[in-house]
Copies of this chain bind each other. A is one copy, B any other.
Amino acid sequence: MARLVVIGGGAAGMSAASAARRTDPNLEIVVAEATGYASWGLCGIPYYIAGTVHDHEDLISIRPERFREERRIDLRLHTAATGIDPTDRTVRLRTPDGESTLTYDRLVIAAGASPVVPPLPGVDHERVFVIRAMEEVIRLRRLIDAGQVRRCVVVGAGYIGLEMADALVERDCSVTVVEMLERVMTNLDPSMSSLVEQVVHRHVDLLLSSGLVSMSAGDDGLVCTLGDGRRVDADAVVLAVGVQPTSTIAARAGAEMTTKGALVVDGHMRTTLPGVFAAGDVIAAPHRLLAEPTFVPLAPTANKTGRVAGTVAAGGEARFEGIVGTAVAKVFELTVARTGLTLAEATDAGLEAMATNTRAASRARYYPGTKPTDTRLVYRGDGRLLGAQMVSEDPAAAKRIDVVAAALHGGFGVTDLADLDLSYAPPYAPVYDPLLRVAHAAARDLKSAD
């Protein structure tokens, strides 16, 4: 009987294992997961910290017993993969009981991404948290529940840092956000991130262009020292300065990777090593608007690429058609969404791009709950759409951005977007949806640019 080994029991790994089981009922499937938890929603962490999600068990999509019993997947927790030998087709595993070697016919690397931990003095202090392993998240939540965290420093003002800041404010913590760059959410163009910034300033002490240089135990918690000498006291520090692919063992085995260390895969999730597939946050995903694959570690891509990897590894047919860079986050009262390329990303990719911003009502003007919706449309000189960004207090922005995601898949131009027959009723949209407004404005800008 052939054996599939999957490294990593997160979204990608468990999707791969499940898809492999659906494809081949006879395959032996082993999943090695380093931590004590599998198939849980990393993206739910801020809501668990906030208390919106009561129990950490609620974040688990499918329980280990179900994988084992219903899907006959040999899910091994507390089992770290420490090396691969692609010639012998073996994986070295380490458990609390010792080391062992397991042979495979097919291997799926779904080891995910790891938080970047800056090598700063004091970073190993028990009140410094990197948000990735469930165990650490539970420990932080318990401290908060026990009333031991009143002052927090969050390092990093990307979407994870801001979601965590939002959660900590929800728990009545006094929060300082320290960001090295001069603005928040650099995955948006400045005209849009500045809208987010205004709201963040209302809720936390936001220190931009500021670096954390050290943390040390003080009389009362931690003392964080910033680059300008300023000191901030904190009961807890949350590091959210980014993640990197957990690709070391694949690299040592000789798999090709991008300059950022993400594994290179084809549309079937094959790495450059024979019989070895990869999926999830460890890969650079094919991008429908860019020639180069990109490292965009997000759950939908992890699930989809996991499914493709597992299906193909088990002998089935599947193909991942690529991302367009869609993402959404709740940042305090705002919904912040993007798809495609920002103007900066388009320019970096060598595309000649233009952008148009509009502010429009989210619903009929007279209907309660209508909110201004800021939209930025990015497009080429010939009108072809490249991307969009939306910031609004109306959560409908999350699914509005999906309309543009569909438009990008379809290769639509600005006027195609303006021609869409979008739904209207006063509780949901104005008669001209914000997307139609921005498309009309972009069409005018294109005409004047002629």
Contacts and interface: CB of A to CB of B under 8 A. Distances in A.
A423 B47 contact: no
Contacts of A428: 328, 330, 335, 395, 398-399
Contacts of A368: 52
Contacts of A423: 326-328, 337, 339, 398-399, 401-402, 405
Interface string A333-355: 00101010000000000000000
Interface in A345-395: 364-368, 395
Interface string A3-18: 0000000010000000
Instruction: Name, among A303, A330, A406, A411, the residue most crowded by chain B CB atoms within 10 Å (CB to CB).
Output: A406
A325 B424 CA distance: 11
Interface string A405-431: 111011110001001111111111101
Given A330-B425, A416-B409, A425-B330, A431 B366 contact: no
Contacts of A136: none
Contacts of A322: 421
A2 interface: no
Nearest to A328: B423
A422 B43 contact: no
A422 B405 contact: yes
Nearest to A48: B366
Nearest to A52: B368
B364 A424 contact: no
Contacts of A412: 406, 409-410
A277 interface: no
Given A330-B425, A366-B53, A426-B43, A402 B403 contact: yes
A299 B424 contact: yes
B53 A367 contact: yes
A303 B431 contact: yes
Given A41-B364, A364-B43, A398-B396, A421 B303 contact: no
Nearest to A57: B366
Contacts of A416: 409-410
A329 interface: yes
Instruction: Name, among A41, A339, A402, the residue most crowded by chain B CB atoms within 10 Å (CB to CB).
Output: A402
A194 to B, nearest CB: 21
Interface string A33-46: 00000000101100
B41 A426 contact: yes
A111 interface: no
Instruction: Name, among A298, A299, A431, A432, the residue most crowded by chain B CB atoms within 10 Å (CB to CB).
Output: A431
A433 B300 CA distance: 9
A389 to B, nearest CB: 12
Nearest to A368: B52
A424 B58 contact: no
A137 interface: no
A363 to B, nearest CB: 10
Q: Give the 3 A-B residue pairs with the shortest CB-CB distance, closest first.
A: A410-B410, A399-B399, A398-B428
16 contacts: A41-B431, A47-B366, A47-B367, A47-B426, A52-B368, A58-B365, A324-B421, A327-B424, A328-B423, A328-B425, A395-B428, A402-B403, A405-B422, A406-B407, A406-B410, A409-B420
